[in-house]
């Protein structure tokens, strides 16, 4: 219960980072934290239904649920792809306008190319 | 044990979002990934732990440090 | 006036977080039981049906191979997009000058020499081991692939990307990624020809663990080449003198 509450709080911290921060790189930090929170929640819930790792060596019984682990592998790799693409976009915006701050970027883009 | 490490994870996440130096934030995020990898090991998920350790504390940190190095390092709003 | 202008976004952010907390509350505090049927079925029948002892490998290469196919496509698109955005950002010269940081020659420290020269090959070997033993111990395509990508990033940190070992050059990595994606498509389509259905076992006489080992190697190559191509492109862009 406490662990789930903490993971929910991590999700809210990531959401706050994406929504309320003005620096683009801090927004990407928030995306990364959101990804970590979701992966933690799935693996934690899957681990409650057993006691051993899902490697069927001789004499292993009562394994944890392996399905969320397989799904989260894909999720982690896609998370790093999303981070790299988002940082590439932030890099291009910085090259075009000279700042990471979203209000400054909006002002400079509105006033035409320079 | 799990709750203690999760508390550290939340603290590192808040620090990374509030730091004035972006490089400190990246290092906090890398430490967060390392603690998550340890949590996955405690949750009996060795495959996810290997992937998170290699991705979070390795490739993701390289991408962030490149982005900061190629542009700017200070968060002017903090 | 300033405070009234700043209050709008802050109120918006706070109300969004309050709404999200309200939506998350049943997820976090609810007590609905976790469905046990997939886990029990896999524990009883997974090893016999797929031939692999690592049930996670059996899932993402056997029972849910569509997800892995989708992930391979997403990785291809993301790497293409990232490189397209980075390489067209300005003059994208390939770092052919003598000094690497625009005037001041960089000193090579002992730490960089040890990590790149000595540890890089060790990490590569470990990555290939994790990739190939994915069916009997923790490991597999994704895990080994990202460790191999870390090893290639180590090796490319120590040298200029056009004079280093051939594995760290962008052309080689792009060729490996495209080729392995093509072979993955062929491997999953081969089941249609040999009679075991799309994504079935391509060799009908052999045990199903062969298809898992081959697919692990292919996916590891693809993930490793894709992610390290992205990192090598970023490092080459950061090192050009400007």
Does any CB of chain A come closer than 8 Å to the CB of residue B46?
Answer: yes
The Cα of C188 is separated from the nearest Cα of chain B by a number of Å equal to: 23
CA trace torsion B27, A75, B47, C191 (10° rounding): -150
Q: Does the beta-carbon distance from B75 to A100 stay under 8 Å?
A: yes
Q: Does the beta-carbon distance from C71 to A20 stay under 8 Å?
A: no
Look at residue C93 and tell me whether its pLDDT is greater than 60: no
pLDDT bracket for residue C112 (50, 70, 90):
confident
B54 is a domain residue = yes
For chain C, the maximum distance between any two Cα atoms, rounded to a whole number of angstroms, is 78
Look at residue C212 and tell me whether its pLDDT is greater than 90: no
More confident residue, C220 or A60: C220
> Residue B75 is nearest to which of A3, A26, A33, comparing CB atoms?
A26
Cβ-based contacts of A47 with chain B (< 8 Å): 43-45
pLDDT bracket for residue B30 (50, 70, 90):
very high
> Residue B47 is nearest to which of A10, A40, A69, comparing CB atoms?
A69
Residues of the domain holding B58 = 2-70
H/E/C letters for each residue in chain C? CHHHHHHHHHHHHHHHHHHHHHHHHHHHHCCCCCCCHHHHHHHHHHHHHHCCCEHHHHHHHHHCHHHHHHHHHHHHHHHHHHHHHHHCCCCCCCCCCCCCECCECCCCCHHHHHHHHHHHHHHHHHHHHHHHCCCCCCCCHHHHHHHHHHHHHHHHHCCCCCCCCHHHCHHHHHHHHHHHHHHHHHHHHHHHHHCCCCCCCCCCCCCCHHHHHHHHHHHHHHHHHHHHHHHHHHHHHHHCCC
Chain C neighbours, 3+ Cβ pairs < 8 A: A, B
B58 is a domain residue = yes
Q: Does the beta-carbon distance from A4 to C230 stay under 8 Å?
A: no
pLDDT confidence of residue C162: 56
Q: Residue A6's closest chain C neighbor by CA?
A: C28
Q: Which of A50, A41, A31 is nearest to A71 (CA)?
A: A41
pLDDT confidence of residue C78: 92
pLDDT confidence of residue C95: 38
Look at residue A99 and tell me whether its pLDDT is greater than 60: yes
Single pTM value for the model? 0.87
Q: Is CATH 2.40.160.40 what the domain over A2-49+64-110 is classified as, yes or no?
A: no
B66 is a domain residue = yes
ipTM, two decimals, is 0.91
More confident residue, C199 or A109: A109
B13 is a domain residue = yes
| pLDDT tens-digit series, residues A37-94 | 999 999 999 998 888 888 888 778 888 889 999 999 999 999 999 999 999 999 988 8
> Can you tell me the mean pLDDT for C64-79?
90
Look at residue C206 and tell me whether its pLDDT is greater than 80: no
Q: Where are the domains of chain C?
A: 52-239
pLDDT confidence of residue A60: 81
What percent of chain C lies above the pLDDT cut of 70?
80
The Cα of A58 is separated from the nearest Cα of chain B by a number of Å equal to: 17
More confident residue, C98 or C173: C173
Top-confidence range, C83-97, C119-133, C185-199 = C119-133
Q: Residue C153's closest chain B neighbor by CA?
A: B59
pLDDT confidence of residue B22: 92
pLDDT confidence of residue A68: 92
Domains in chain B: how many in total?
A: 1
More confident residue, B78 or C38: C38
Q: Does the beta-carbon distance from A39 to B51 stay under 8 Å?
A: no
Top residue of C12, C60, C215 to mutate, by most chain A CBs within 10 Å, is: C60
pLDDT confidence of residue C98: 34
Cβ-based contacts of C227 with chain B (< 8 Å): 59
pLDDT, chain C, mean: 79
pLDDT bracket for residue B11 (50, 70, 90):
very high
More confident residue, C94 or B70: B70
pLDDT bracket for residue C4 (50, 70, 90):
low
Q: Does the beta-carbon distance from C54 to B47 stay under 8 Å?
A: yes
The Cα of C51 is separated from the nearest Cα of chain A by a number of Å equal to: 11
pLDDT confidence of residue C92: 40
Chain A neighbours, 3+ Cβ pairs < 8 A: B, C
> Can you tell me the mean pLDDT for C95-101?
37
Does any CB of chain C come closer than 8 Å to the CB of residue B17?
Answer: no
pLDDT confidence of residue C49: 82
More confident residue, C118 or C202: C118
> How many contacts (CB atoms, under 8 Å) link B and C?
49
Cβ-based contacts of C56 with chain B (< 8 Å): 47
pLDDT bracket for residue C100 (50, 70, 90):
very low
> Residue B47 is nearest to which of C143, C231, C235, comparing CB atoms?
C143
pLDDT confidence of residue C97: 36
More confident residue, B74 or C151: C151
Q: Residue A44's closest chain C neighbor by CA?
A: C34
Q: Residue A1's closest chain B neighbor by CA?
A: B3
């Amino acid at each position: 219960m406490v662990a789930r509450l903490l993971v929910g709080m991590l999700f809210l911290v990531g959401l706050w980072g994406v929504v309320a921060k003005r620096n683009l790189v801090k927004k990407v930090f928030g995306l990364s934290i959101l990804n970590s929170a979701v992966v933690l929640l799935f693996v934690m819930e899957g681990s409650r239904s057993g006691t051993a790792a899902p490697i069927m060596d001789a004499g292993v019984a009562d394994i944890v649920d392996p399905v969320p682990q397989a799904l989260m592998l894909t999720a982690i790799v896609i998370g790093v792809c999303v981070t790299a693409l988002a940082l590439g976009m932030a890099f291009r915006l910085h090259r075009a306008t000279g700042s990471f701050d979203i209000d400054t970027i909006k002002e400079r883009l509105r006033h035409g190319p320079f | 044990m799990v709750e203690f490490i999760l508390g550290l994870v939340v603290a590192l996440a808040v620090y990374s979002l509030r730091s004035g130096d972006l490089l400190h934030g990246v290092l906090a995020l890398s430490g967060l990934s390392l603690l998550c990898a340890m949590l996955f090991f405690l949750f009996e998920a060795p495959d996810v732990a290997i992937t998170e350790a290699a991705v979070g504390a390795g490739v993701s940190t390289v991408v962030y440090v490149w982005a900061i190095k190629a542009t700017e390092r200070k968060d002017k709003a903090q | 006036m300033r405070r009234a202008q700043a209050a709008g976004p802050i109120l918006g952010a706070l109300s969004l977080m309050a709404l999200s907390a309200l939506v998350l509350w049943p997820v976090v505090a609810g007590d609905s039981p976790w469905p046990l049927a997939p886990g029990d079925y896999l524990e009883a029948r997974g090893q016999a049906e797929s031939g692999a002892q690592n049930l996670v490998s059996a899932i993402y290469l056997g029972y849910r191979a569509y997800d892995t196919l989708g992930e391979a496509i997403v990785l291809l698109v993301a790497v293409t997009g990232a490189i397209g955005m980075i390489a067209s950002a300005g003059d994208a010269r390939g770092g052919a000058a003598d000094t690497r940081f625009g005037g001041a020659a960089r000193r090579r420290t002992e730490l960089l020499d040890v990590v790149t020269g000595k540890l890089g090959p060790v990490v590569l070997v470990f990555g290939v081991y994790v990739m190939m033993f994915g069916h009997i111990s923790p490991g597999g395509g994704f895990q080994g692939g990202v460790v191999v990508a870390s090893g290639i990033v180590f090796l490319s940190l120590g040298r200029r990307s056009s004079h280093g070992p051939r594995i760290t050059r962008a052309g080689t990595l792009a060729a490996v990624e495209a080729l392995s994606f093509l072979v993955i498509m062929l491997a999953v389509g081969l089941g249609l020809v040999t009679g075991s259905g799309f994504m079935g076992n391509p060799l009908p006489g052999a045990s199903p663990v062969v298809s898992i080992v081959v697919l692990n190697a292919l996916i590891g190559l693809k993930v490793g080449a894709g992610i390290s191509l992205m990192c090598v492109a970023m490092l080459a862009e950061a090192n050009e003198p400007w």
